[in-house]
């Protein structure tokens, strides 16, 4: 491969292949669909996990980039609620369990079980299903 033209072609092929490899891995990864990458084992989406931690830690700012856009009034009301909740320590998270999920096309669903203790000392245990698409949580119920 002493011919400069052939060397340029080979170099170009190498760069293109590296991009293709990265792309293939990326499209199978969390940043695209929310599920695990080819090398991830759990199947849990980093986006879904970050969203759940933001909810439990009552920190709306930490999840603002990974959920659908809200109006300024909605965001202000949410911050008010989070501040009140934090200062009164009304809720104590007990557990966060990733139950499982699945991916269909660009959408992935991730289901969690949350254990909480209320200010009255009552333990609550409930599920939350998150739909992730395009790097954001698009549905939470």
Nearest to 112 by CA among 123, 98, 131, 102: 98
Site track 20-59 with another protein (rule: CB under 8 A), x = hit = xxxxxxx--xxx----xxxxx-x-xxx-xxx-xx--x---
CA 41 to chain centre: 16
* Closer residue to another protein in complex, CB, 8/76: 8
In the complex with another protein, the residue whose CB is nearer, 80 or 118, is 118
Residue 132 binds another protein (CB under 8 A): no
| 3-state secondary structure (DSSP) of residue 90 | coil
Q: Which of 93, 134, 127 is nearest to 110 (CA)?
A: 127
Binding window for another protein (CB under 8 A); candidates: 66-74, 79-87, 91-99: 91-99
Per rule CB under 8 A, is residue 70 in the interface with another protein?
Answer: no
Q: How far apart are CA 83 and CA 98, in angstroms?
A: 27
In sequence order, which residues have a C-beta less than 8 Å from that of residue 40 and are 6 or more positions away?
A: 29, 30
Q: Footprint of another protein on this chain (CB under 8 A)?
A: 1, 6, 9-11, 13-26, 29-31, 36-40, 42, 44-46, 48-50, 52-53, 56, 93-102, 104-105, 107-111, 113, 115, 123, 125-127, 129-131, 141
């Amino acid at each position: 491969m002493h011919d400069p033209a052939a060397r340029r072609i080979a170099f170009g092929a190498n760069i293109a292949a590296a991009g293709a490899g990265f792309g293939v891995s990326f499209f199978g990864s969390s940043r695209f669909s929310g599920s695990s990458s080819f090398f991830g084992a759990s199947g849990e989406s980093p986006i879904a996990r970050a969203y759940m931690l933001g909810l439990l830690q009552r920190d709306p700012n930490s999840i603002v980039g990974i959920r659908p856009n809200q109006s300024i009034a909605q965001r202000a009301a949410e911050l008010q609620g989070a501040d009140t909740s934090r200062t009164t320590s009304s809720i104590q998270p007990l557990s966060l369990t990733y139950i499982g999920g699945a991916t269909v096309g660009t959408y992935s669903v991730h289901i969690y079980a949350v254990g909480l203790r209320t200010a009255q000392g009552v333990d609550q245990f409930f599920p939350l299903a998150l739909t992730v698409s395009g790097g954001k949580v698009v549905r939470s119920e």
